[in-house]
Amino acid sequence: MNVKELKHDEINTEHKSDKLLVEKVFTFGQGHVFKWWNELDAGERGVLLNQLKLIDYDLLQSLIDKHVKESRLASPKTAILKPPGIIPVPQNDLQKTRASEAKEIGEGAIKAGKASVVTVAGGLGTRLGANRPKGTLPISPIMGKRIFQLHAEKILANMKRYDTVIPWYIMTSRNNDEMTRKFFEENHFFGLNTRDVSFFTQGVLPVIDFNGKLLMDSKSHIVTSPNGHGGGIVCFKRKGYFIQHEGTRH
C-alpha cells in the first residue's frame, strides 16, 4: 500500500517551534521524512523531531550540492592516483643530520608542553568477535596488555622523561563512549592524572541516497553515520580544547 506524502501544512504539531522546524525541513526538500506522520504515536513523533532538530541543514545542502548534484554534471573520468612521497630511512650524512634535527624539534615541543595526543577510538571490536571498544582488547603477545593501556604507558613514560604534561584526547562514539569511560575508571586511568585525559564523542551525519534524500530505517527514524576523522576536529574545537590548551601546537 502506497502512502501519500504529506504537505507541510498537513503536519500537525503541538509547539510553534516544531511547526517552524517542519517548514524548514520542507524548504530543504526533505519533507518525505513526514510521510508516515499520521501513523506515529507521540513518542515516535518526538524521536523524529529531535533528530531533525540536530541536523545542520546548510551543511547538509552544501554536501548534497557538492557530492550529489555536481557529480552528476561532471563527466566520468578515470582517476589516476599518484603515490605520495615517502620519507626514506636515513642513509647518507645529510639525511641523518636532518633526521636528528627533526628529532630535536619533536623532543623540544614535548618538553615545552606543546604536544598532545589524540586517539581516534570510536569503533567496536565486533569483527574480532568482541562487542566492546577496540581499545580495551588485549594486543601485546606476552603480557596481554590492552591497546589503551599501551598508549597510556607510553604517554606516562614520556611525561616522566621530559618532565612535562601531555594531554590525551580520546574520541569515542555513541556506541562505546560509556564503556570506554568505565574502562578507564576501572583501571584508574593507568596512572595518568584524570585531568590530563579528556573524552569527546564523535559526531554523526544523516545518511542520504543518490538523489540527496534523507534515508530512514523506520517510519520515525533517520539513518545516521559517524562523520569521519575530520568530524573529530570540529567536535574538538566545539569542546573548547583548542582554547583550554592554547599552548599545544602538535
At 245 the pLDDT is 58
Residue where the block lists cell 517552524: 20
Instruction: State how far the Cα of 226 lies from the Cα of 41, in Å rounded to an integer.
Output: 28
Mean pLDDT score of the chain, rounded to an integer? 88
Q: Are residues 34 and 115 in the same domain?
A: no
Distances from the Cα of 121 to the Cαs of 54, 59, 124, 237, in angstroms?
Answer: 23, 25, 9, 18
Residue 68 located in a structural domain? no
Residue 26 located in a structural domain? yes
Q: Are residues 22 and 139 in the same domain?
A: no
pTM of the model: 0.74
Q: Which residue type occupies 62?
A: S
Residue 76 located in a structural domain? no
Q: Are residues 223 and 124 in the same domain?
A: yes
Q: Are residues 130 and 220 in the same domain?
A: yes
Average pLDDT over residues 234-244: 68
Instruction: State how far the Cα of 159 lies from the Cα of 240, in Å rounded to an integer.
Output: 23
Domain that holds residue 184: 107-244
CB-count exposure of residue 55 (10 Å: 0-12, 13-18, 19+): buried
Question: pLDDT confidence of 247, banded at 50, 70, 90?
Answer: low
CATH number at residue 203: 3.90.550.10
Taking 80 as the threshold, does the pLDDT of residue 70 lie above it? Answer: no
Report helix, strand or coil for 85: coil
Residues 241, 169: contact at Cβ < 8 Å? Answer: yes
Strand-pairing partners, residue 204, are 226
* pLDDT tens readout for residues 160-187: 999 999 999 999 988 899 999 999 999 9
Total domains in the chain come to 2
